[in-house]
A and B are shown apart, each in its own frame.
Chain A
């Protein structure tokens, strides 16, 4: 049997091969993770660009000699609709990225998302006022649990319940838009909103300057402005 005894080389070769596989896996997964982040970041940037474009357009029209409100409102309505469509998908993607993150990162994307979302929400409010529009604007504060385990499951169960009901509401109310924000008072701009609307906990809905904590109260929301 002596002739078959494996040499040290075979053990080292195996070690080297596995090391290469693991290194490829490491960089492959990190790259895939970064690719997802970069994609999301790009989409948020595009959304931001469009919002800047809206501002620019608004300013331009205000100083223009041929100011036409109805034309402006038509264009803004189209712009905001398309921006809202992009924005809706961002939250799910952001949540998935945060959950699947292989390496914890700074909160850069989350802040970007929050700021963009608030900006879009403000644009919708201005649009409603200026163009005398009746879009129902809802601000949804969801719980963001930092700890895993039972606390996260509790937060997820509450968020899911709220979101399922919100989905139903928005389907039945065509002219409604929802802006989801994490309930994080440590972010200054969010804290300002939380104080202004007197939101004491999450999940919660701010609609028509009222705060709703009970999903059964969704039935009381009047669809038209």
Chain B
């Protein structure tokens, strides 16, 4: 790539982030009050997808159900990779051996050669790569190299910490036809003891339910869930495999497939469980990676916006990107006002203490910039619709909440969204500044 082209790409990339940050700052500093009319516009935008999703889920409820298995089963390569994950990979491999499939299949384990327990297992075919491919532990690099050595028509990729159900593969295969280039399933959670794990259990069971089904129905599913996916090797090769520069390669590959005219399909009957971060620190690291990788992908495929050739996706993408940016603007503004109100309240109360002497009962804190009454009515309506949509989604994935989820679900409803959006804001800031990406 020439220097001019590189420079152009660099500024184009930064411009995208700069515009988003400018929008957040403009909304926070120059829009004096987030008044009633603005609130209604925001509610309109947010509720549209919820209502549309509810309608689609009622009208096209069968779209993500598994279909009839083909008479001539295609050859499938079951692929996982082992590197620094010896403990969970053994469990994953045991489960991969138990997969139901009418014809024999090979389990490929991509490794750097240090995984000795694979050597004596005849069902497994290790693909040993040079250690240099494992340096940054980038899945895209490892998978690209490993998949080069596979000749089967279809790839069933499973992460080393993911446990698919026995019938996952057999339920995904029938959907890989016509214009579908990749099939994904439901992702549950294996570790769900801690509060943070329960939160992610709720999130996974919600997002891997109706939202994905709705997106599938609209031909707009734009993520290839790396933890478990079935893809066509020919298409995979034709798009040049995973983007090794992107830290969310499973999202980026989905965009490559879409660009080629293929769709991603979600099958709710194909289930797997995966391990989620069990500490807030590891959670934030993962989410920051997802946020940065997601924006990186959006930035790379801006030409998809309003692209009629992509069908509904060409219009869903600007909507979802717009909602994300709007959410960031709202959260940034709210945080700014919360912090500044708190600062000024403490400051002026301290000032009064200095002026008049200390008497704790004299002081009361209030946050003046909230317009509570109208917001509460709007929030209640939005919350009711969201809860209804969530309950539909839980029903769709057969997820049942018990009493131990009481506080996590409250946290999920009222706080979790802010955390996710906050991670987007940090992600954007990191991208603008140029903080090094890590897988």
Contact = CB atoms under 8 A, between A and B. Distances in A.
B44 interface: yes
Contact of A25 (B340, B356, B364, B377): B377
B180 interface: yes
Interface string A1-34: 1101110001101110111011001101100110
Interface residues of A, number: 42
Contacts of A99: 368, 371-372
B43 to A, nearest CB: 6
State the main secondary structure of chain B at its contact with A. helix
B358 to A, nearest CB: 12
A43 interface: no
A103 B35 CA distance: 9
B32 A148 contact: yes
Given A148-B368, A216-B356, A6 B59 contact: yes
B59 A156 contact: no
A18 B33 CA distance: 24
Contact of A161 (B36, B52, B363, B372): B363
Nearest first, the 4 A-B pairs at minimum CB distance are A14-B52, A157-B348, A102-B36, A100-B373
Contacts of B59: 6, 10
Interface in B82-113: none
A160 interface: yes
A75 interface: no
Interface in B347-395: 348-349, 351-352, 356-357, 361-364, 366, 368-369, 371-374, 377-378, 381
A215 B359 CA distance: 11
A148 B59 CA distance: 48
Contacts of A160: 363-364, 366
A150 B340 CA distance: 8
Contacts of B218: 5-6
Contacts of A153: 341, 344-345, 348, 368
A149 interface: yes
Interface of B: 32-33, 35-36, 40, 43-44, 47-48, 51-52, 55-56, 59-60, 62-63, 178-180, 216-219, 263, 265, 311-312, 340-341, 344-345, 348-349, 351-352, 356-357, 361-364, 366, 368-369, 371-374, 377-378, 381
B364 to A, nearest CB: 5
A17 B356 contact: no
A22 B356 CA distance: 49
Given A103-B36, A216-B357, A25 B362 contact: no
Contact of A154 (B344, B356, B369): B344
A158 interface: yes
Nearest to B378: A25
A214 interface: yes
A154 B219 contact: no
A99 B369 CA distance: 9
B52 A11 contact: yes
B264 to A, nearest CB: 11
B178 A18 contact: no
Contact of A32 (B55, B371, B377): B377
A116 B55 CA distance: 55
Contact of A17 (B51, B348, B373): B51
A165 interface: yes
B205 to A, nearest CB: 23
